[in-house]
Amino acid sequence: MDLKNLTINDTYVDRLVEADEITEDDIILFTEDVYSSNYFSATIIGKRHILARVTKLHYGDKYLSFSMDVIECIGDNNEEILNKKQIRRREKTIFGKYKVYRRLWNNEFNRYCILDAQEKYKIYTA
């Protein structure tokens, strides 16, 4: 499946992104593997595509994670995600294996101002 042209409820994502380009209020499309329920010997049973709005970035000691409101989910075991409506994923889960796309803002300049402030915050808290 070509994720660049994937349409979910007439919402599309325009641009390939990296982890340091994500900010709050971004709408992103990412793919994640779905595992069997057995924790100790989990196997990949499929994958799903999630369209979500980033609500918060969490800067931990070891990794970055994102809280997101789910807009839509298609693929294997998608009911699990749709029932939650809000999810939290680590950076390596979102950006590890598959490409991530971001919907363009109406005013990209405002978004770049927010990204600049995020960079300054990371420098001061490091």
Assess if CATH 2.30.30 describes domain 6-125: yes
Domain spans of the chain, in order of start: 6-125
Nearest to 22 by CA among 59, 61, 63, 66: 66
With beta carbons less than 8 A apart as the criterion, state whether 55 and 69 touch.
yes
DSSP 69-114: EEEEEEETTHHHHHHH-EEEEEHHHHHSSS--EEPPPS-HHHHHHH
The one-digit pLDDT tens for each residue of the chain (126 residues) are 344 455 544 455 566 777 778 888 889 999 999 988 777 788 889 999 999 999 998 888 788 899 999 998 888 888 888 888 899 999 988 988 888 888 888 877 888 888 777 776 555 444
Query: Can you give the pTM of this predicted structure?
Result: 0.77
pLDDT at 122: 58
pLDDT at 2: 44
